[in-house]
Amino acid sequence: MRVWGSSASKTLRRTAQDCCVYCGHAMEYFDRFDGGRIPLVPVEFPAARVMPRQRWQVDNGVAYLNPGAQGACRLPHPAVCPMAEHTDADRELEDVRRVLAVHTRKAIDTGQFVPREAKDIDETVVAEQHIAVEEGTERHIVRHAVGLWLAPTTVQDLCCVALSQGARCGTAVRAEDDPEGAWEEIDIPSVTGRHGQQVLAAGDTMWVYGLNALDFDALQRWVKQRCPIHWKSTAPDAVAPEWIHFSAMHHDSHILHQRPLDAALPSPRTGDRGPFGIVFEPARTTCANERCRNGTVLAVEEGWLCYKCAPKARRREATHRAWQRGIADD
């Protein structure tokens, strides 16, 4: 089997077909438009009977979310998996789940299928079942562009997924001579409800491995989870890329509140290179707030704050002065 040279996806179709370990029904994994993976139902459904956020279409081997799709569309398997918990199901998809649940129950009763035991199965758990990660494995959070992704291992142990000599390539994605990234502290994405309060109880910031300073070509190599040797190669994937979208609700156990030991810090806040390797002339000065990435190319004084952080600083200073006056009056 060969992969067509112009195909946007280098994944073999025969290795992307699988059955759900929770319900036993067939599904097909496709590369997502944003670099992730998504399991789709093998058959198509009328788009008019599917909610817009569940309408997916496949083009050139890559799955795209198309809310305005007409005619037929593909459904993600987590949306119809009868073993997962659904909160906002529409009536049409509920009918599909009911039919699939009957087939799953018959397969279990006859001994043809044994479901994997798991607690609190939801759509996120079903979507991530293709990633084989041992329990207790340390996993790092990686940031590129505006997305947060959870790696299957640490950044140092992340391996290439290319097929090499009949097996998976064991070379690390991160080059030893050029780490290509740096650790940075960012705010934890907001999580609503009581569980969100528990997540933020240990702190409202977390440490992630940032790749924002990479050029587009190097960034795509990380997204495809390829080593420098196989980045330009047409070799197919031995396994699917193991990135999954980070969710503070489901992946709170992997949040790092302290900077990892021997971790390289980001480059100085003032310099001639910005996100994605864009060179600024003259030098670009970043906001003095370490959690802000806004900047300017104008000549500004030391400690400059951007248009978002400056009003907040003035309000805090005014509140502090009022508090001091109240103490003096007492």
Closest CA to 265 of 210, 195, 317: 210
> Rounded distance, CA 164 to CA 167, Å?
5
Token pair belonging to 143: 């940031």
SS3 139: coil
Q: Does the pLDDT value for residue 278 go beyond 80?
A: no
Provide the pLDDT confidence category of residue 3 given band limits of 50, 70 and 90: low
Provide the pLDDT confidence category of residue 100 given band limits of 50, 70 and 90: very high
Angle among Cα 224, 226, 230 to the nearest 5 degrees reads: 125
Share of the chain above pLDDT 70, in %: 83
- Report pLDDT digits (tens) over 209-268: 988 777 778 888 888 889 888 888 888 888 778 888 888 877 888 888 888 876 655 544
Q: Does the pLDDT value for residue 103 go beyond 90?
A: yes
Residue with tokens 């067509």: 4
Residues 6+ apart with CB under 8 A from 271: 283, 284
Residue 185, CA distances (Å) to 45, 56, 251 in order: 43, 34, 17
> Would you state the torsion angle of the CA atoms of residues 305, 311, 315, 318, taken in this order, to the nearest 10 degrees?
70
Closest CA to 265 of 178, 182, 149: 182
> Rounded distance, CA 64 to CA 51, Å?
15
Share of the chain above pLDDT 90, in %: 8
Out of 4-13, 167-176, 184-193, 274-283, the most confident range is: 167-176
Residues in the chain: 330
pTM greater than 0.75 (yes/no):
no
Half-sphere exposure of 188 (CA within 13 A, CB side): 26
Provide the pLDDT confidence category of residue 5 given band limits of 50, 70 and 90: low
Provide the pLDDT confidence category of residue 282 given band limits of 50, 70 and 90: low
* Backbone phi, psi, residue 37, to 5°: -130, 145
Q: Does the pLDDT value for residue 272 go beyond 60?
A: no
- Report pLDDT digits (tens) over 10-56: 677 777 788 888 899 999 888 887 767 888 999 898 888 888 888 99
Domain ranges of the chain: 13-127, 141-267, 270-330
Please indicate whether residue 330 or residue 58 has the higher confidence score (pLDDT).
Answer: 58
Note the pLDDT of residue 69.
83
Q: Does the pLDDT value for residue 280 go beyond 70?
A: no
48-57, 60-69, 262-271, 305-314: the lowest-pLDDT one: 262-271
Please indicate whether residue 87 or residue 167 has the higher confidence score (pLDDT).
Answer: 167
Closest CA to 296 of 280, 312, 314: 280
Note the pLDDT of residue 208.
92
Residue 183, CA distances (Å) to 238, 262, 307 in order: 29, 10, 26
Note the pLDDT of residue 89.
59
Closest CA to 23 of 64, 63, 80, 72: 80
Please indicate whether residue 27 or residue 8 has the higher confidence score (pLDDT).
Answer: 27
Residues 6+ apart with CB under 8 A from 92: 49, 50
Average pLDDT of the residues of the chain: 80
Note the pLDDT of residue 268.
46
Q: Does the pLDDT value for residue 136 go beyond 90?
A: no
Please compute Rg for the chain using Cα positions: 24
Q: Which residue type, as a one-letter code, is found at position 325?
A: R
Give mean pLDDT, residues 145-149. 78
